[in-house]
Amino acid sequence: MNFSDFMEENHQGVETQKTSFDSYQKAYLAEYKEYKDKILKEWDEARISSPKKWVTYSKDMKTRTTVDYETNTVEVAIRENAKASAKR
């Protein structure tokens, strides 16, 4: 194997990794959008976890729990039915 062969092999490996990452990213973003859309069917806003807040929803999307690590608070919101006002 000469240097040109080595470079070609490495280039092919990089292209394979890039294609694999692009596929992963596309699938991830599609799932993320689907999850946000599912939340928005039930809630006025789609709260998503961040490094400073942890947000979780019940399986039926009627209950949302938000833990705010900066303010050391926990909020539990419960929906009676779709698009109703949240109770705190």
Give the pLDDT confidence of 59-72 residue by residue, as tens digits: 999 999 999 999 99
CA 15/CA 10 separation, integer angstroms:
9
- Supply the Cα-derived Rg of the chain in whole angstroms: 22
pTM higher than the cut 0.85: no
All structural domains of the chain with their residue ranges: 3-78
pLDDT of residue 83: 52
Q: Do 88 and 75 contact (CB within 8 A), yes or no?
A: yes
Q: Is the pLDDT of residue 86 over 60?
A: no
Q: Is pLDDT larger for residue 39 or for residue 18?
A: 39
**Confidence at 38, pLDDT banded by 50, 70, 90:** very high
Least confident range of 12-16, 39-43, 61-65, 84-88: 84-88
